Structure 1
């Protein structure tokens, strides 16, 4: 029987990753969005870059976790990396809508508290932004396990739609890229992040790519293994996979609460159709 080329196997695995990302448990009063052609391409490329299929007799783990950055990104110095990140995070990447959203988010954090890692914080932030007149939503992405080196996961973030443009709102985005034993150069990149990030999807995609490469370089320089949840494919899936979007002020009740006659009024829910 003819052997299937490794390249074909990798491509098939990449599309299988996307297929596993799509199915999500249904949420009450929430709408879903399918992957666009651009998002599909980005996820496939991320998967091909990060998840190598073992070739016969080959030490693929060494190639993947070894000198990948040096071979592909040797032309990009630390100063150039920082400058690229700074241009995406700074005023050069801003517009009037970004400044308005950022200002209202700062006010919202003062009102609801700045504990961005606390339970329900992002839903409270979304609610507050809606009260201020924004088309804000709480988005939850979810993706599955594809092989022994990948892990499933889910993530929540807030988005705002203005005149057909989708903005992602993140309080303490730098926290998503924190790692142990970070090098001095990597820490200097984290210090470039503002307390509140507001940006378009394409800008965030570039930031994730830059930080994923830098993250891997930092960890490998101190002989640390890069865990699955710190790989580019996993990081990309947080913001750029299929997601459910809700504008509900209260989280859905669990089935057990419904069957037990959970006492408590739920705020009216709103259904939005996305895409």
Structure 2
């Protein structure tokens, strides 16, 4: 049996392997038999392995950037205590306005932060859509070049499923409320959770929508296709005409933060 290290590494490199084979993991899974879905031993082994995989990735994720996560959590707390919503939607404020407020506070503290929007077109395999998140540029020990860190304020919520198995719910409960880290760890977590979601839905005999698949989920944080600048005095955002595959506009000229 493969070691935990080997299994975890699959989720870091599966995208390139999918491109070479010409067929995604989800498509390959469609050929799997459902005969063993309810076999007690096989079922227990599957969920134990998914739990171990997730724990391994989360341990790697937690080992880098802990100070940055603490600072972001403090900033989010301050933002939630303020009157951050300008769009007159819910009385408790919307997440879009909260993201803008968090970027505003981060830049005031000297962080090089930006709002990012990933967009993708409708295809035969999945519906089109867009997703907004925060990016922060930080330097890490041992690296000469600063690297982007993604901040997702609704990370755990992205994986919630109404009629999920208890085992899947336990995996979701392990996730941090906010994600603050590198894209490769995020993609690994998405791979594990999407595979587990498919298994859970098969066990419950529920159809899995294309928006639940790994390829769709990863597009939410795939690239910044729209620049959005935040007016520090008003926290309003202004989209520009810049198109796909351009990096987000960073709102501070301060040196990148070094994280540990």
TM-score by length of 1: 0.64
Query: Deviation string for 1:198-249 (max 9, x for gaps)?
Result: 1111111100100110011111111100111111111011112453343423
- Note the aligned Cα RMSD (angstroms): 3.7
Which residue of the partner structure matches residue 24 of structure 2?
A: 49
State the Cα distance separating 1:66 from its structure 2 match: 6.7
Whole-angstrom CA distance in 1 between matches of 2:224 and 2:18: 11
Query: Deviation string for 1:11-55 (max 9, x for gaps)?
Result: xxxxxxxxxxxxxxxxxxxxxxxxxxx998488579832675xxx
State the Cα distance separating 1:142 from its structure 2 match: 0.4
Contact kept, 8 Å, 2:99 with 2:134, in 1: the verdict is yes
Which residue of the partner structure matches residue 140 of structure 1?
A: 117
Q: CA 1:186–1:75 in structure 2 vs 1: closer, same or farther (change >3 Å)?
A: closer
State the Cα distance separating 1:182 from its structure 2 match: 0.6
Whole-angstrom CA distance in 1 between matches of 2:191 and 2:116: 21
Which residue of the partner structure matches residue 219 of structure 2?
A: 237
Which residue of the partner structure matches residue 93 of structure 1?
A: 61
Which residue of the partner structure matches residue 79 of structure 1?
A: 48
Which residue of the partner structure matches residue 96 of structure 2?
A: 119
User: Does 1:63 find its partner at 2:42?
Assistant: no
Which residue of the partner structure matches residue 72 of structure 2?
A: 105
Divergent runs of 4+, >6 A: 73-76
Whole-angstrom CA distance in 2 between matches of 1:175 and 1:41: 27
Contact kept, 8 Å, 1:50 with 1:231, in 2: the verdict is no
Q: CA 1:157–1:270 in structure 2 vs 1: closer, same or farther (change >3 Å)?
A: closer
Contact kept, 8 Å, 2:112 with 2:252, in 1: the verdict is no
Q: CA 1:118–1:41 in structure 2 vs 1: closer, same or farther (change >3 Å)?
A: same
Contact kept, 8 Å, 1:139 with 1:156, in 2: the verdict is yes
- Identify unmatched segments of 5+ residues in structure 1: 1-37, 53-59, 255-268
Contact kept, 8 Å, 2:118 with 2:221, in 1: the verdict is yes
Whole-angstrom CA distance in 1 between matches of 2:20 and 2:210: 16
User: Does 1:168 find its partner at 2:136?
Assistant: no
- Identify unmatched segments of 5+ residues in structure 2: 1-12, 82-91, 140-145, 241-249, 254-260
Whole-angstrom CA distance in 2 between matches of 1:46 and 1:87: 26
Whole-angstrom CA distance in 1 between matches of 2:131 and 2:21: 18
Contact kept, 8 Å, 1:65 with 1:225, in 2: the verdict is no
Which residue of the partner structure matches residue 153 of structure 1?
A: 129
The count of residues paired between Structure 1 and Structure 2 equals 209
TM-score by length of 2: 0.67
Q: SS where residue 161 of structure 2 aligns?
A: coil
Q: Give the structure, 1 or 2, with the largest relative contact order (CA under 8 Å, sep 6 or more).
A: 1
User: Does 1:129 find its partner at 2:87?
Assistant: no
Whole-angstrom CA distance in 2 between matches of 1:109 and 1:199: 16
Contact kept, 8 Å, 1:139 with 1:157, in 2: the verdict is yes
